[in-house]
Amino acid sequence: QSALTQPASVSGSPGQSITISCTGTSSDVGGYNYVSWYQQHPGKAPKLMIYEVSNRPSGVSNRFSGSKSGNTASLTISGLQAEDEADYYCSSYTSSSTFYVFGTGTKVTVL
């Protein structure tokens, strides 16, 4: 099972919107609504930002939103802030023997 494909880096200026893509196959992203997104600051544990494609846990800013089209899921951060600078990982259920698969990770830089 290969990792889901994410861009290595995405950047934007404060206040702008950015979108991170997460591309898989029909065996994972495209086949199930079990895509989640995690934010990880350096030296810290990952934090759940989006679950089941587009749901936000309590306490997560509504500047974060998720969507999916075909085999590609997306995380959009609107009104970019300095504190959003971090690594972001997508994850999906997969029908392969591994059950879970992560994305390759995207480093978000706030210019």
Partner 1 sequence: QVQLVESGGGLVKPGGSLRLSCAASGFTFSDYYMSWIRQAPGKGLEWVSYISSSGSTIYYADSVKGRFTISRDNAKNSLYLQMNSLRAEDTAVYYCARDSSGWYWDYWGQGTLVTVSS
Interacting residues with partner 1 (CB under 8 A)? 3, 32, 34, 36, 38, 44-48, 51-52, 57, 89, 91-93, 97-105
Residue 13 vs 97, nearer CB to partner 1: 97
Cα separation, 59 vs 99, in Å, equals 28
Q: DSSP string spanning 72-110? A: EEEEEE-S--GGG-EEEEEEEE-SSTT-EEEB--EEEEE
Contact 76, 67 (CB under 8 A): yes
Minimum Å gap between C-beta 18 and partner 1 is 19
Residue 10 vs 14, nearer CB to partner 1: 10
Minimum Å gap between C-beta 58 and partner 1 is 10
Cα separation, 9 vs 75, in Å, equals 13
Residue 13 vs 48, nearer CB to partner 1: 48
Residue 79 vs 100, nearer CB to partner 1: 100
Cα separation, 87 vs 100, in Å, equals 19
Minimum Å gap between C-beta 11 and partner 1 is 19
